[in-house]
Chain A
Amino acid sequence: MKPELLSNSSFTTDRYRVQFAWDSVSRDYILTCPRKYQLAIRQGWQPKHTALPLQFGLAFHELMEHFHKRRATGYSKLNALRQGVREALHLGNELGPDPKGYRTRESLLRAFIWYHLNYWNDPTQTVILANGKAAVELSFRYEAPGITAPDGTPYLFTGHLDRLATFGGKVYAPDYKTTQQTISADWFSKYRMDDQMSGYDFGVRVTYGPETAGVLVDGIQLAVTFTRFQRGFALRTEAQRDEWMWDTIRWIKLAEEFAVAEVDLGHTQWPMNRKACHHYGGCMFLEVCEKHPSVRQQWLEREFEQRPWDPLKVR
């Protein structure tokens, strides 16, 4: 496989081209499978068409972001809702087909409208920052303690938060999660050890102060004829935070080790984690990895396109 490395500001410019800015997406790839990370992040291969669940989730996030921004600039709740419905119609028309009916224009509209009906008198209130702006779609970045890339560049953690909100006198970082699964205590339990939530928890405390309490998970169950909502928390103890940071640093150094071996030793094929190939309906690179190494590049070029994922890019 020919390693094609595209320009990416999150990578060092030395011969190793090591990723020094890490977000939850990049971490998810390396934690799942080094080969998947190599293909998706280091080489930047992404499916030509965005998967519908991701498309739907992004659309819902966008609607909510705009709603909260409008509220913060003086729109009444009803006018912010009206404008959101217009946007939902636009975004819904751009969704790919869903023969099962879970993620359609109607379910996007329903999720957005029902969410606001359900939380019309929402006890969470968006934090207004010192600059007067609503704390919505915030980016954070901070240096990882004590580690640098081979060229001396400090490693960074980066991320984006949906918003900061007060609830019960404490500040939380709410995150919307759409799912087809029934939302229950069991569904929330998966966020107790979730890497993305740990990253948000750490990021929000480093950036906005230790008084922030953690992540509030806004669960949205998508069904064919209804949408259900429930909130839960993804909280971390100090010991869990320390452990997450220590673990994450070691994973990042492992990725660095593979990048160095690729250049110095010619180990161009990063190891596969074969236990992860069939997780969550199957890895997007499964068909590529199944093929003989000599034809994998052709498969990549046929099914994927190179779109670098850059955690330093401000959304």
Chain B
Amino acid sequence: MSDEPIPNASSLGVLVPTQTELEEIFSTDPDELTDAQIDRVIAAFEAKATEWAKDEAAGKKQAAVPKLEGSAKDVLAALGLGKKS
């Protein structure tokens, strides 16, 4: 176990790079990269991980909604939709 904080832009004190900035870092010789530049790479991937985790949680939540059964008319009615005659 470790008491080191999980690295992200805030704990590393860097800005999440734009895709262009990230490509610039990638095109540099890795041995020439400073710790600050490496931290921006970590921050970029951490941001993507957080975003993906949110999307996945949302996807699971959506998938957890019980399916409505019955005719199309019943389903629309249950959702408060459908033509009102």
Taking beta carbons and an 8 Å cutoff, which residues of A are in contact with B?
76-78, 81-82, 85-87, 89-90, 105, 109-110, 113-114, 117-118, 120-121, 123, 225-226
Interchain CB contact under 8 A, A105 and B38: no
A227 to chain B, nearest CB (A): 9
Chain B residues with CB under 8 Å of A77's CB are 2, 4
From A85, A90, A225, B38 is in contact (CB under 8 Å) with A85
Stretch from B40-48, B60-68, B73-81 at the A interface? B40-48
Chain B residues with CB under 8 Å of A117's CB are 6-7, 45-46, 49
A169 to chain B, nearest CB (A): 14
From A78, A89, A118, B26 is in contact (CB under 8 Å) with A89
Q: Give 4 A-B pairs besides A110-B45, A117-B45 with Cβ atoms closer than 8 angstroms.
A: A77-B2, A82-B42, A86-B30, A89-B33
Taking beta carbons and an 8 Å cutoff, which residues of B are in contact with A?
1-2, 4, 6-7, 26, 30-31, 33, 35, 38-39, 41-42, 45-46, 48-49, 52, 56
Known: A78-B7, A226-B52. A120 touches B2 (CB 8 A): yes
A115 to chain B, nearest CB (A): 10
Known: A82-B35, A85-B38, A90-B30. A114 touches B45 (CB 8 A): yes
Chain B residues with CB under 8 Å of A76's CB are 4
From A90, A105, A109, A120, B45 is in contact (CB under 8 Å) with A109
Interchain CB contact under 8 A, A85 and B6: no
Q: Report how far A85 CA is from B33 CA in the complex, Å.
A: 10
Chain A residues with CB under 8 Å of B1's CB are 121, 123
Chain B residues with CB under 8 Å of A81's CB are 7, 42
B54 to chain A, nearest CB (A): 12
Interchain CB contact under 8 A, B7 and A110: no
- 25 CB contacts below 8 A, A to B, read A77-B4, A78-B4, A81-B42, A82-B38, A82-B42, A85-B41, A86-B31, A86-B33, A86-B38, A87-B30, A90-B30, A105-B26, A110-B45, A110-B48, A113-B49, A114-B49, A117-B6, A117-B7, A117-B49, A120-B2, A120-B4, A120-B6, A123-B1, A225-B52, A226-B56
A90 to chain B, nearest CB (A): 5
Q: Report how far A208 CA is from B49 CA in the complex, Å.
A: 37
Interchain CB contact under 8 A, A82 and B39: yes
B64 to chain A, nearest CB (A): 18
Q: Report how far A81 CA is from B45 CA in the complex, Å.
A: 12
